[in-house]
Structure 1
Amino acid sequence: MEYQRWIVMLSTYLTEFTSLGLLFAVPVLFVNFLETYRESRAKTATVTSILLGVMGCSGIINGLLVQSIGPRKAGFLAGLLMSGGWMLCFFSSSILYIDLLMAVPTGIGCSIITISTSRTLCQHFKGKPCLIALAVQTTASGTGRIVYTYILTACLESFGLQGLFLIMGALLLNCAILPIIWQTNRVSQQETSPISEETQKALDVKICCTRYGPIFTNKTFLTFLFGIAFLYVPHSGFLIVFTDIMKSREYTEENIRLAYVIHSISNVCGRLSFGFLKQIPRVGFLSLAFLFACMSAVSFATIHLAKEFWTTAFACSFMGFEMGVTVAAISIGVLKIVGPENLPFGMGLILSVIGIGNVVVGPIFGVIRDVTGTYSLSLWISTLSAGVSATLFLMAMIMKHRMN
């Protein structure tokens, strides 16, 4: 029935709100990790870096997992994995334990959730409503990040870091319950003739090669993939060390939190706006991605040159908006290039490439800060990376135009 798909959409939204919202709010804990475990910035940055990196690197495997067992079962397993990881961190005594017990399971779980929710929405919405649904869905993690910013702060003040791990683990347990109502909107097809296990395996391999092989030879998709990676990874690096950048400028704790919330709010607006901008006739997703990649390059340069708090906050708002657009461009771009049937695998491939970059970007930013005493070089590298991304989007736009 019609109302059922809106219930499903609400459950997918709440699942991403709970899981990805927490993941993207973890940078708020960066300074607390520094003070609690007394490690270097480079080593402390591995927590968020591994979170984002594992989320991406496991994407291609999780895409096949979702394709094989379905979004509902995959989402249930992801919820249990994330909840258990956070609760086990109660016993952690070093950053290494945080990396292994929290970052790795949560990264894998959030990757599964991201792919499962997108796949579920594409099964219930078609055409333009599907683009709007995906755009609205991408705002869940951004909205969650805003809320979690205050929840994490309150939990730290009342229960400390160890108590926070238990509370967040309990909240993440909801992610194992919500996927129960993720029904597919298609009539399951019954087998009309018996097929042997060996024949079925051969058919699966043949179907896999036929379906996924063209994705690796699709030049437009591959160019789009690396364009997203060069744009998303520096944003992730900035987010990982956000609180340390603000603290190095001697801003107060309230100002740092305010700047983070401003970045988060504009991030949500960016995610939501991409789907609606795509509804404008003759406005392609690649042209929008190119425009906002150029704006990202300007924003990274601005955040470096800004000295006063409100100038910094203004630059953060632009940067958050562009990061939100980038997140929305992933699911919508993959849907438009490879189609809804290949969406889990296509998104998994993009997340894997992004994940490789995310694994190293946090520690690199930390090492640069430890060696040079400033984040200036990191921000200039990010500016260059955004410029490369804009060039790749332009190339993809030209290739797509020639194919049409």
Structure 2
Amino acid sequence: MYIMEDETLQAAPEINVCHGSTSSPAGGDACTTNESGVGGGSSAPGGQQAAGRCFEQDGEEECAMHYSVKSRAPDGGWGWMVALGTFIFSTLVHSVPYCFGILFSGFLLENGASSTTTAWIYNLFLVLWHFSLLLANPLCQEFGMRTVGFTCVSVSSLSIILSGFAPSVYFLYFSFSLLGGLTVGMSVSIAFSVLPPYFDKNTGKANTLLVAGGPMAQVIFAPLLRYLLDLYGLQGAALIHGAIILNGLVAVSLFHPVRWHLKPWSHEAPQTQHGTLQTLMPRDKASSPAPSVTPRSTQASGASQPAPRNRSVQRLRGSLSGSLSSMASGGSEVSAGLAFLADEGEESTPGDKARGKNVLCRTLLRVGERIRTDVGVLRQCRCVILAVTITLTQTTFLNFIMMLPFVAKAAHHSLEDAARCIALLGVTNLVTRLVVSPLSDCSMFSIRLSVMLGYLLRASGIAVAVLSSELWQLMAAGVVFGLGLGFSLSMFNLAIVHYMGLDNLRPTIGIVGLAGAVGFPTLGPLIGLIRDLTSSYSVSLCVLVALDLLSVALWFLMPAAQARDARRALHVRTSREATCL
């Protein structure tokens, strides 16, 4: 298995790559090293011969785990099917939170539910949604990404159907808040983490399909569910909505592990800035410690090995075998995205998967340990800035959407006028995402400036709403805020990959979710309390402006955070090398 020398993981002894043996800092080398300090099995002719024997005996799947093979992201091909799957998947799962009011408002009013009860049902959903982001990565590592995805889609559909047949208002705490919150959150994490490893040069174009899913859910499902309610009532609409969500099973089936589709590097192929999987790390982490590889001892040459478990892996044997000519010359060539190459459930240690009466306890312990490891990414200042700013801006986004009808009413406008403002906001958000995300593939594009511009536009839009008295001014506020949403939210996962690297994508998404699970129930009621104390929506909106401006200030500090994390990583690496010597 791969041992990554990241500061978020346990320190591992330096191990030379050689065929069937290892070296230990405590004792003598178990294999002969060449002049470059690399094990004999890694030299150009000898390494290829040893790797060739590995392919003949073990098969490409096992051999890929023994050797560091320079491979590159598919950057197309099946990756476009994955991008299409993320669009369908994201559109369907986002229909659950965005259509809560349309689908269940009549039921809640008929049963005399108070505004507090309604708010608690929805906010508990949001808290569990964000908390489940922390659970997604450990569960995907334990059971496999597609297994978790299939389960989430099925339970999300069941959540809507059960909510449609709810015997009382309080049943929605279980059917919608608990079941829906946990599964929708993990679904969002899977959608945002499955796509980046597939692309290099066309990351922004592929990301366009992913980020368009949320706004499309608003555009499609809001009028559709309203029509179904008028035609079939709540139970019929819930049944149809749940059946539509089940189409997400088809989308999840497209989420192949990226290791099935890796392309080998030939000696003639030019290695660009994003050539190998190693360079999928952001540029600011180029000086971070290189990962090491622990080779597993190969069996005797006469021992028979089982065929690869998956037909897709068998079909890829020929294409991946060509990558042996580009065998890495040392641990520094190991891909920085290797966490995505062995994160499926079938790659877990066989001994840990042994059946028995304590299998549930062992599984829970492994998941808990992985959660603890993921939380360790908080030691990096970049992760703290990402988590805090995303939580602050998500709070301003949701509260502005919630308060906009009340602001319109206070300015003597109708609810239809407020609905038009929100519709303009959504359309502007969608169009901006479709334009900005492909631009991120340009060399001159700056993710940091895009995010900061988005936060500034959002703050400007809220400020316009504070000062507006005419309807056109309120509509202009919605347009400006929608522009800000498009510039900032379209860069969500791209910013995480750029600043944290592929290996930290899922853990960072989990930390963002954890921050949201803490921040939403704290900041949301605080803004409501300010409104009650001041009896003014303008003051509450000014607080939202201040939160967005605070996020801009924190992003000004991102280069300093990068420098601090680089110094800390260098210090950790130097300490480990001194210990090994």
Give TM class, smaller chain.
0.7 to 0.9
Aligned to 1:65: 139
What is the CA–CA distance in structure 2 between the aligned matches of 1:20 and 1:99, rounded to whole Å? 19
Partner letter of residue 140 of structure 1?
A: G
Q: CA deviation at 1:195?
A: 6.7
SS at 1:341 equivalent: helix
Aligned-partner SS, 2:502: coil
Distance 1:19 1:191, change over 3 A: farther
Deviations 1:296-351 (A, max 9, x none): 22222222222333321221122123233332232111111221222122112112
Seen in structure 2, the aligned counterparts of structure 1 residues 28 and 373 have a Cα distance that, compared at 3 Å, is farther
Letter in 1 for 2:450: L
Report the alpha carbon displacement of residue 57 of structure 1 after superposing the two structures with TM.
1.5
Q: Which residue of 1 aligns with 2:68?
A: none
Calculate the aligned-residue CA RMSD, in Å. Answer: 3.6
Determine the structure 2 residue equivalent to 1:333: 495
Give the AA of the match of 2:164.
F
Corresponding residue number in structure 1 for 2:399: 237
Cα deviation, 1:173-222, whole Å, max 9, x if unaligned, reads: 22234212321231499995697626999xx89x9599747622211221
Aligned to 1:132: 205
Give the unaligned 5+ runs of structure 2. Answer: 1-73, 262-294, 300-347, 355-361, 567-581
Q: Compare 131-140 and 54-63 and name the one that shifted more.
A: 131-140
Alignment of 1:118-267 (within 5 A): 118-123=192-197, 125-187=198-260, 197=351, 212=374, 215-243=377-405, 245-246=407-408, 251-252=413-414, 254-267=416-429
SS in 2 for 1:38: coil
* Larger RCO (CA under 8 A, 6+ residues apart): 1
Given that 2:455 and 2:549 are in contact with CA atoms closer than 8 Å, whether structure 1 keeps it comes out as yes
Distance of aligned partners of 1:210 and 1:150 in 2 relative to their CA distance in 1, 3 Å threshold? closer
Cα distance, 1:37–1:388 mapped onto 2, change above 3 Å = farther
**Aligned partner letter, 1:106:** G
Q: Which residue of 2 aligns with 1:35?
A: 109
| Residue 150 of structure 2, aligned match among 76, 88, 112 | 76
- For residues 247 and 174 of structure 1, the distance between their equivalents in structure 2, rounded to whole angstroms, comes to 39
- Structure 1 residue 78 displacement after superposition: 0.6
* Inter-partner Cα distance in structure 2 for 1:79 and 1:371: 42
Counterpart position of 2:309: none
**CA spacing shift, 1:369–1:212, aligned 2, 3 Å:** closer
SS in 2 for 1:266: helix
**Counterpart amino acid of residue 337 in structure 1:** Y
Match of 2:516 in 1: 354
Q: Are 1:334 and 1:346, in contact at CA under 8 Å, matched by a contact in 2?
A: yes
Deviations 1:40-98 (A, max 9, x none): 43432233323332211221112222233332111101111111111111233554332
Aligned match for 2:91, one of 5, 10, 17: 17
CA distance in 1, matches of 2:105, 2:410: 11
Output the CA distance in 1 between the equivalents of 2:125 and 2:248: 17
How many Å apart are 1:126 and its aligned residue? Answer: 2.5
Q: Which residue type is aligned with residue 323 of structure 1?
A: L
Identity of aligned residues (%): 19
The alpha-carbon distance between structure 1 residues 177 and 240, as it changes in their structure 2 partners (threshold 3 A), is farther
Match of 2:325 in 1: none
Larger radius of gyration: 2
State whether residues 375 and 511 of structure 2, in contact with CA within 8 Å, keep that contact through their aligned partners in structure 1. no
What number of residue pairs does the alignment pair up?
403
2:181 matches 1:107: yes
Q: CA deviation at 1:282?
A: 4.6
Separation in structure 1 between the aligned mates of residue 376 and residue 350 of structure 2, nearest angstrom: 28
CA displacement at 1:139 relative to structure 2: 1.2
Change (3 A) 1:355 1:213: closer
Q: Is the 8 A contact 1:76 1:179 kept in 2?
A: yes
Give the CA deviation at 1:371: 6.8
Residue 32 of structure 1 deviates from its aligned partner by 4.3
Change (3 A) 1:395 1:275: same
State the 1:39 CA deviation.
3.4
Match of 1:85 among 135, 159, 176: 159
Aligned residues of 1:22 and 1:148 also touching (Cα < 8 A):
no
